[in-house]
Amino acid sequence: DGGITQSPKYLFRKEGQNVTLSCEQNLNHDAMYWYRQDPGQGLRLIYYSQIVNDFQKGDIAEGYSVSREKKESFPLTVTSAQKNPTAFYLCASGLAGGFYEQFFGPGTRLTVL
């Protein structure tokens, strides 16, 4: 089945530790996106990538980093510089080069203790 997988579903980390969230898609999409969701805030764009080896900052990139070495994968690292990392993180993918819909993974809930 084609789709987007995010792992793990729940993640706990101690304050000050970096953590990497996985996102993999087998939809053959060029574009991939990372969002952060907080209650009452909607979805806020962290980073996005339209093609392998290239990515752009979204609206709230500070304290986060990404890589796009393969078309299928777009991992997100939450660094210790992110002041309030506890949130629900959503990965999405879609066709590039136009106003296409995005397809979402099931999300990872990160809790920093």
One residue of 87, 102, 110, 112 binding another protein per CB under 8 A: 102
| Nearest residue (CB) to another protein, 80 versus 95 | 95
CB of 97 to another protein, least distance (A): 7
Q: Are strands 10-13 and 108-112 parallel, antiparallel or unpaired?
A: parallel
CB of 8 to another protein, least distance (A): 13
Half-sphere exposure of 79 (CA within 13 A, CB side): 8
8 touches 110 (CB < 8 A): no
Calpha distance 102→9 (Å, rounded): 20
Q: Which parts of this chain interact with another protein (CB under 8 A)?
A: 4, 31, 33, 35, 40-43, 45, 48, 50, 56, 58, 88, 90, 92, 96-107, 109
